[in-house]
Structure 1
Amino acid sequence: MLKSMTGFGNATVEANGMSVTAEVKTLNSKFLDIYCRIPRQFSDKEIELRSLLTQHLERGKVELALNLTRTQAVRPGVTINRPLVGAYVSDLKETANGLLMSVSDSDVLQLALQQPNAYLTESADPTADADDWATVLAAVQEAVRRCNDFRQQDGAVLEGKFQEYIRTISDRLADVEEQDVRRIPAVRERMRNAVLELLGNENFDQNRFEQELVYYIEKFDISEEKVRLRNHLTYFLEVLATEEANGKKLNFISQEIGREINTIGSKANDATIQRFVVQMKDELEKIKEQTMNVI
């Protein structure tokens, strides 16, 4: 089944007093190009997130955005060392009184808070960090799954378009084959007149005659091109129906289809067939454009 490179998925997971919203957006790109916007506290997890995106999204320009919101009150990471600050305040007041200085309580408190060890830094809770990361990971995985679902749905639409384009080319090829039957007598008549004119020439050269005959036969015969084009069209549909179908392989086949169409156009020397060739080229360009959006 085809998968488009265009996709979008978002998911919100709430757990452990935290709400995590993850958004994954993918666009066309020749290679896998990942851009992550994640909170600083999880910056060390970026490699793990990139590995997850690479494993599941394969190809395209991928953008991941994470938004974290605390749904419950949390303790600050830094607290005031109240016993020590209280001791500082008492000592500063005694010192000021001893020096017969008048100092406001707010000034004393501000000065005490600037003293060594006035603040306590709580050590990080590894269990809480692990729980937070599990919530983030769950949100990202769900967003990636939804993005892949989007890609598969878009790929199904592309598959229908490819089948339509190939069917149109096949119909025009049938028109070419029908017109080729009418073209042959006209070509034969032109060759016969050319041969008669050549035979009437006093400087008639048998070797040159045979060379010219072979040249005209090869120049106007499109039998092999029609067979190869029909085979390429069939092969395109066969690959399209496989699980291994991918944009690069389909693009390679479309290039081969284009070569046969161009050769038919250059060798046919027929206005009606040329019109059919133009219509086939138009459908082929649509195929090439769409294969650029297939993984």
Structure 2
Amino acid sequence: MIKSMTGFGRGDSQVGDKCFQVELKSVNHRYMDVSIKLPKKFTYLEESIRKVIKSNIQRGRIEAYITYESIGESDINVAVDMPLAKEYLKALLRIEEELSIETDVTTSVIARFPDVIKIEKKEENEDEIWQCLQEALNNALNQLVIMRQEEGDKLQVDLLKRLNKTRDFVAQIKDRSPIIVQEYRQKLIERIKEILDEEFSLDDNRVAAEVALFADKSNITEEIVRLYSHINQFSNTLQEDDAIGRKLDFLLQEMNREANTIGSKANDLIIANLVINIKSEFEKMREQVQNIE
């Protein structure tokens, strides 16, 4: 089963008061490229996320967007250093007493002094965090893989259809090939008679030698055999359960090369038109192959 490199998946998960949402988007890429955007405090999990993605996908550019929300208590602690606050208060009262001035000592005044109030982050359970994130990530990956497989099924149907059309064109070329030499011999004789006196005696040996030379130069049997072989390889590769995009692209290059050779050697208008049809199908197939994992 082939897979497309285009897809999207979203996954959510909640463990305790922790909620993660993961969105994955994949597009065409020659190799495997993973881009991850997540809250800064979870950057230590980036490599683990990358490994999970790569274990499910072999090729393409994957963009992962991860958001986090805590629906319970805040993950911030506000701590008060009471001994320090008392010392500040003693100092203020002493100033009031010794300088005989009235002061308005309030809680807000003392709270403004350095280090009286401290903001601290609560320690997180890293295993619990990863468990929650991994579940959301796996849910998103499942959706993404399913979408890529569904798109891959459509690509496979289209490629097989075009491959069958190509086989038909090659079969027509194979049937046409032997006729080319016969037509060349007839045209050669007619041309000679047209130029020379019709009563001029033709040298059958010279004509046969000329026709044999033409037949040798225009022989496309090997190219047809190789093209059939590549077509069969392409068809068999479509049934493999692996990343086959680059292999298919290589086979298309070889198929296109054989088609070009057939067109240049055959020296025949009908075959040239059939080659144009074949190359048109190859071009459409190449566009599809660019999107296969």
Comparing 45-54 with 72-81, greater Cα deviation is found at: 72-81
1:247 correspondence with 2:242 = no
Tell me the residue number matched to 2:128. 131
Q: 1:214 to 1:195 in 2, by over 3 A?
A: farther
Q: Displacement, 1:111?
A: 4.7
What per-residue deviation string (whole Å, max 9, x for no partner) do you get for residues 153-172 of structure 1?
11111111110110111111
Q: 1:72 to 1:252 in 2, by over 3 A?
A: same
Match of 1:188 among 160, 169, 185: 185
Tell me the residue number matched to 1:54. 54
Length-normalised TM-score, structure 2: 0.86
Q: 1:75 to 1:158 in 2, by over 3 A?
A: closer
CA distance in 1, matches of 2:130, 2:82: 33
Tell me the residue number matched to 1:92. 92
CA contact (8 A) 2:8 2:25 kept: yes
- Spell out the pairing of 1:217-228 with structure 2 (5 A cutoff): 217-228=215-226
CA contact (8 A) 2:58 2:243 kept: no
Q: 1:54 to 1:83 in 2, by over 3 A?
A: same
Tell me the residue number matched to 2:231. 233
1:178 correspondence with 2:180 = no
Q: Displacement, 1:123?
A: 6.9
CA distance in 1, matches of 2:75, 2:61: 39
1:164 correspondence with 2:172 = no
Tell me the residue number matched to 1:266. 264
CA contact (8 A) 2:12 2:20 kept: yes
CA contact (8 A) 2:111 2:117 kept: no
Comparing 50-59 with 279-288, greater Cα deviation is found at: 50-59
SS in 2 for 1:166: helix
Identity in percent: 27
CA distance in 2, matches of 1:33, 1:11: 20
Tell me the residue number matched to 1:293. 291
**Could you list the runs of 5+ residues in structure 1 that have no partner in the other structure?**
none
CA contact (8 A) 1:37 1:65 kept: yes
Q: Displacement, 1:64?
A: 0.7
CA contact (8 A) 1:12 1:139 kept: yes
Q: Displacement, 1:245?
A: 5.6
CA distance in 1, matches of 2:108, 2:92: 9
CA contact (8 A) 2:181 2:215 kept: no
Length-normalised TM-score, structure 1: 0.85
CA distance in 2, matches of 1:114, 1:215: 104
CA distance in 2, matches of 1:225, 1:86: 96
Q: 1:142 to 1:74 in 2, by over 3 A?
A: same
- Spell out the pairing of 1:81-160 with structure 2 (5 A cutoff): 81-106=81-106, 109-115=108-114, 117-120=115-118, 124-126=122-124, 128-160=125-157
What amino acid is aligned across from residue 132 of structure 2 in structure 1? T
Q: Displacement, 1:121?
A: 5.7
CA distance in 2, matches of 1:270, 1:41: 70
Q: 1:268 to 1:79 in 2, by over 3 A?
A: same
Comparing 183-192 with 215-224, greater Cα deviation is found at: 183-192
Q: Displacement, 1:63?
A: 0.6
CA distance in 1, matches of 2:192, 2:238: 49
Q: 1:195 to 1:267 in 2, by over 3 A?
A: farther
SS in 2 for 1:24: strand
Tell me the residue number matched to 1:21. 21
SS in 2 for 1:53: helix
**Dislocated runs of 4+, deviation >4 Å:** 120-124, 191-198
Q: Displacement, 1:272?
A: 1.8
What amino acid is aligned across from residue 153 of structure 1 in structure 2? E
Q: 1:131 to 1:244 in 2, by over 3 A?
A: closer
What per-residue deviation string (whole Å, max 9, x for no partner) do you get for residues 112-156 of structure 1?
5423x4235657435x33312211121112212221111111111
Q: 1:269 to 1:100 in 2, by over 3 A?
A: same
Tell me the residue number matched to 1:7. 7
CA contact (8 A) 1:220 1:267 kept: yes
